[in-house]
């Protein structure tokens, strides 16, 4: 995908990877970038910083009617949506004993929001014979997030759903990409480290922590090549192969890392 003159929507756009994507899409020549976030004030601030092509929207992605309204409003204003970046996500730092409310929120934000997005954007994309869905799924979706059971389970579900969409709709003109970064310098990681969450410690110890702008660079390259898996950390592909070839050895290595970090 060439971003010139494209109409783009970014959810979770008020910070971290989302705001970096909004800035980069505008710099690449997008005709309009809708910066959507549950924090409407923050979305307005990011849109103002991005410039005149950016348009803020306050949207709770766990509410299907709000997602449908976001899509309908964007299509009405700009005629179409070329690229929808379903980027909103939450972590919990909890294990099996995480409260049901945390499990439910992780499910609604990390999985159901993608379902709501697909239901809303696919009809027009299929009618037009083109469009691209970018789903931020995390390396946890192809590996695991030690210390965060709800995040791991829901991000695996998000990757599975993205793959299903790609298989089902690619031949009808709709491309799907799953963005799966590992450590990124965002509030999700910094707040997890400040809270002492094991998962955040493992991420920080597992390799390079990229900036959101570096992730945006990988997204631009991945969209241009229409890749399904976009891996800002290339080593994630190596880890995934090791995990598939020797699951017991892979788990033993992670347990060793956990013992070191919790000693």
Active site residues: 151
Q: 212: how many CB neighbours lie within 10 A of its CB?
A: 21
CB 15 within 8 A of CB 36: no
What is the 3-class SS of the chain, one letter each residue? CCCCCCEEEEECCCCHHHHHHHHHHHHCCCCEEEEEECCHHHHHHHHHHHCCCEEEEECCCCCHHHHHHHHHHHHHHHCCCCEEEECCCCCCCCCCCCCHHHHHHHHHHHHHHHHHHHHHHHHHHHHHCCEEEEEECCHHHCCCCCCCHHHHHHHHHHHHHHHHHHHHHHHHCEEEEEECCCCECCHHHHHHHHCCCHHHHHHHHCCCCECHHHHHHHHHHHHHCCCCEECCCCHHHHHHHHHHHCHHHHHHHHHHHHHHHHC
């Amino acid at each position: 995908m060439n971003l010139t003159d494209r109409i783009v929507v970014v959810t979770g756009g008020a910070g971290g990877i989302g705001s970096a994507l909004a800035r980069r899409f505008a710099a690449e020549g997008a005709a309009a970038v809708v910066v959507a976030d549950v924090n409407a004030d923050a979305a307005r601030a990011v849109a103002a910083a991005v410039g005149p092509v950016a348009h803020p929207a306050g949207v709770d992605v766990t509410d299907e009617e709000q997602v449908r309204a976001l899509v309908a409003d964007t299509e009405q204003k700009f005629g179409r949506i070329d690229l929808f970046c379903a980027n909103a996500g939450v972590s919990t730092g909890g294990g099996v004993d995480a409260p049901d409310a945390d499990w439910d929120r992780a499910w609604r934000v990390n999985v159901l929001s993608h379902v709501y997005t697909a239901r809303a954007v696919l009809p027009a994309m299929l009618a037009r014979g083109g469009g691209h869905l970018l789903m931020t799924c995390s390396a946890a979706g192809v590996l695991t997030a030690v210390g965060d059971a709800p995040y791991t389970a829901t991000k695996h579900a998000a990757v599975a759903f993205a793959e299903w969409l790609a298989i089902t709709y690619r031949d009808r003109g709709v491309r799907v990409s799953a963005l799966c970064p590992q450590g990124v310098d965002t509030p999700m990681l910094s707040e997890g480290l400040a809270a002492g969450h094991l998962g955040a410690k493992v991420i920080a110890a597992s390799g390079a922590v990229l900036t959101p702008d570096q992730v945006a660079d990988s997204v631009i390259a991945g969209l241009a090549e229409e890749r399904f898996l976009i891996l800002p950390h290339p080593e994630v592909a190596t880890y995934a192969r090791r995990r598939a070839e020797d699951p017991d050895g892979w788990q033993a290595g992670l347990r060793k890392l956990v013992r070191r970090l919790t000693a």
